[in-house]
Amino acid sequence: MTPQEPTGRAPDIPPQARRAPRTTPDMATLKGIPVSAGISIGRAFFLNRSGVGPLPRQTLAESLTEAETVRLDKAFEQFGLEIDQARERIPAELKEHGLILDSHLMILKDPKLAGAAKKYIRSLRINAEWALDKAVDDLEKAFAALDDPYFRDRIQDVRTVAGRVQARLTGQASEMKAIENRVVLMAHDISPADTATLQTDKIMALVTVQGGKTSHTGILARTLGIPAVVGVTELEREVRDGDLVVVDGLRGVVVLSPGEAELERLSDLKYQFEAYQAGIMRGCHLPGETIDGYRVKVKANIEMLEEVPTVVNNGGEGIGLYRTEYSYMNRSKLPTEEELYQEYLDLATIMSPRRVTLRTLDAGADKFVSTLGALDERNPALGLRAIRLCMRHRDIFKTQLRAILRASLAGNVSVMFPMISGLREIRQAKAMLAEAKAELRQEGSRFEADMPVGIMMELPSAVMIAEILAREVDFFSIGTNDLIQYSLGIDRTNRYVSHMYQPLHPAVVRSIKHVVDAAHQAGIEVSLCGEMASDPFCVPILMGMQIDCISLTPQAIPGIKRIIRQATMDDCKKLLKLVLESPSVSRTNALVQETIFRQFPDELMFYSSLLDREDGPAH
């Protein structure tokens, strides 16, 4: 779930709006991807449409190809200058979005995009627009082959940058239109550069054609506390400026010119959701503690510094998982130790005294930098990734460990190694950490000598020897997304088998309990940082296991905290016992749904609409 702080504002709907239905016979509903929860009702206003239209395609005389590459360079340079200028103009409340501007600047400077386009200009003797389009197509195919949805979504950033360069090549770049009244802002896409000139006080909701679950539009909407739906492919064809629309960020739909009855229903739902948001936000800074006194730490999973304000505002008790991969993406050179140190130190300092857990690189060689070279892997999910990649490229790993150690001087930093399959990998990683400590001591650099070290428990092999691994580390963090995928042999992004991705499968529940028990027997803390941590059907079961900490998306923290505070440990243990005795996933799901709906009928009104999404947990 992704509840946001309520806007507290009534929708700006003029009286005549209810009497101005769309001329089409039936009310239309457009589907997309919900990225910021809530409901807004207002008039559509297009920031931009698909922009450059059909791209010109021309073949050139060989003598003109170099001039064409110069034209391409100038378009890249122009957009780069505009990004620099936009960074200076970003409103104070959106300053954190400068980091995304930096990432777009990295894409502009990355030779994989501009370099590939120039090769097409020279080899095929085609114009810059056509060549850039072909270069983006090539990158899109490469991104589509990645197994991680987060990395696949990064192609959206490449498309955005390329689209803005195309607009400058074709001379169709335009100034942003002024917004006179409060509107539902619609666009083909919203780039970080657009953020600099947005009149945020006049925007009720965001809807775009482009974008995925991790796109900039969602981050922007969550920062502003407004609903957003992305990936609405029919948006530009079906919606006109001034149309009355309802943006439902709970279900991921846009309702066009609703009739009187539907408008009244959605208005009621909007006010109910805002009242719910107000309630959970009032209690979000209270501890995650059951009625009978059992305390669960509730932390956040993030990948960018700009998410920190949301963590703090939503009552996050720390960062349970900081995905460090983002710093390695969309750049032609590896980040330096100093760059990583500054990033980690900033994060730790801002969050202090709350603890920050930095997960070392959890990526494959094809996911972040070209300098590692391409790998021909038939199954990347089972290939050279995470700790395996780091042990192959020890110089990269050592640089990151040194940066983490230096940042540990803040006093609240932990390090965590991903995709550990056995004892040998832990000892290898710890040996590298010891080498980094020795080097820093010799150089006179200070760090926290006893910085906590943990591992991700996400492979069945690690689960089976949890008692052995627990003797080697200070904490466990259970990554249920991969654990479920590897335990059940299910690719949750594969539409043919995604329905079989079942968090409450008996094998998964028993695996998690085994890890929790092994950790507690060894006297170490155990947390869980997968999607199960934000699933109200799973959290009471995890609490029954006496898990120490859950880490989830920042927006889900207030709602989950309230569920925890309305539960009792006695009830959670009883539910866990019934689940462990259940012989099948269908029986477990039915049992859990019946129990949870009975205990938290009001709480699940909005969760259930989110859990029904195709990408959500199956129940």
Summarize the annotated binding site for Mg(2+) as residue ranges: 458, 482
Binding residues: 323, 359, 458, 481-482, 492
Closest CA to 157 of 222, 71, 219: 219
d(CA 364, CA 456): 16
Token pair, residue 600, equals 């938290």
- Determine contact, residues 179/43, Cβ cutoff 8 Å: no
Query: Do 457 and 477 touch, CB atoms closer than 8 A?
Result: yes
Residues known to be catalytic: 216, 529
* CB atoms inside a 10 Å sphere around CB 127: 23
Residue whose C-alpha is closest to residue 64's, from 117, 112, 128: 128
* Number of other residues whose CB lies within 10 A of the CB of residue 125: 17
Structure tokens at 119: 């090769």
The backbone torsions φ and ψ at residue 521, rounded to the nearest 5 degrees and listed phi first, read -65, -30
Question: Residue 419 is which amino acid?
Answer: M
Within 10 A of 593 (CB to CB), how many other CB atoms are there?
16
Buried b (16+ CB within 10 A) or exposed e, 13-43: eeeebeeeebeeeebbebebbbbbbbbbbbb
To which H or E segment does residue 43 belong?
strand 39-48
Structure tokens at 379: 């199954």
Q: HSE of 228 in the Cβ direction (CA atoms, 13 Å)?
A: 31
The encoded tokens of residue 273 equal: 């959701």
Q: Is residue 347 within 8 Å of 356, Cβ to Cβ? A: yes
CB 538 within 8 A of CB 1: no
**Structure tokens that stand for 148 in this block:** 């991680």
Q: For the chain, how long is the longest CA-to-CA vector?
A: 80
CB atoms under 10 Å from CB of 178, counted, come to 8
Closest CA to 468 of 532, 522, 538: 522
How crowded is residue 58: how many other Cβ atoms within 10 Å of its Cβ? Answer: 12
Is 363:386 a contact under the CB 8 Å cutoff? Answer: yes
Identify whether the C-beta of residue 205 lies closer than 8 Å to the C-beta of residue 247.
yes
Gyration radius from the chain CA atoms = 25
The answer to whether residues 184 and 175 touch, using CB atoms and an 8 Å cutoff, is no
Contact between 184 and 245 under an 8 Å Cβ cutoff? The reply is yes
